[in-house]
Amino acid sequence: MNPSVKIFTGNSNPALAERIAARYGNVLGKVKIQKFSDGEFQPVFLESIRGDYVFLVQGTNAPADNLMELLLMIDAAKRASAGYITAVIPYFGFARQDRKDKPRVAIGSKLIANLLTAAGANRVITMDLHAPQIQGFFDIPVDHLDSSAIFIPYIENLKLKNLTFASPDVGSTTRVREVASYFNAEMVICDKHRKRANEIASMVVIGDVTDKDIVLIDDICDTAGTLTKSAALLMEKGARSVRAFCTHPVFSGNAYENINNSVLDELVVCDTIPLKQESPKIKVISVADLFAVAIRNMHENKSITSLFVHSQRRMS
């Protein structure tokens, strides 16, 4: 008989954690984050977890307190004799720091991987890493879920007549090509050049978009500058409509203003990060079912291959 499953969360995204637990068939476990006057905090599990499969649902989006909460919860679970500790990280922060792209900088995603392992995590479940090779930074198993499993059914229901997929930059081409292949659809690329972070100097479209219904796909929407500029350029080049699908709604700076004033028909995002405000152009799809199935299959030692819809390419 397998040890029981207990799901806990910190403060990064409790609403999503509740949805995951509900889809799994559990209630969230009881944990308290004690806060002190000097700014320190301390997680305390309010129930026994000895020998249990413990799943800690906690994204590492800003502020950095979310990461620290996760590390402390892992350490507390280890010291409370949990049988197996899995860090469920819907949004893996610092993932854009995956290489040394200039002198004297940190490789933040490698450091986070080391910290999670050192704290005592036995496994990580995450979604749409900005750079998939980050999985190799870990010396523990990583289940890397793919948002295409929930985006593809939504796109199918749109029944777009002249469907064409677009990558907002060269770095997203592999991700977009996989989805385009599933639909046997064409793909174009918006090639951008940056002067500095979050500031686009120039952009060109590679491919024909005349009279096409464009679907932009990306993993992170930060300031929405790239996304909205890509959408505007695609419409200028003759596209009939443009909508976007982004997994992680970071939405910093003027993101909401950029989205609301854009030519996008809609922006579909996941609930890996809670929204700061609502927008008529933003639609949220929950990843709760996907993570709940991953947790169940992991606990029961079953494969999670069925969660990757894009691997089952549609035949024409």
- Annotated catalytic sites, by residue? 192
Which class for 184: exposed (0-12), middle (13-18), buried (19 or more C-beta within 10 A)?
A: exposed
Helix 108-119 vs helix 65-79: crossing angle, to nearest 10: 20
301: DSSP letter: T
114: DSSP letter: H
Pairing of strands 41-45, 53-57: unpaired
Which class for 101: exposed (0-12), middle (13-18), buried (19 or more C-beta within 10 A)?
A: exposed
61: DSSP letter: P
Residues 6+ apart with CB under 8 A from 55: 5, 6, 7, 8, 86, 88, 125, 295
Quickly tell me which residue has 């860090």 as its tokens: 87
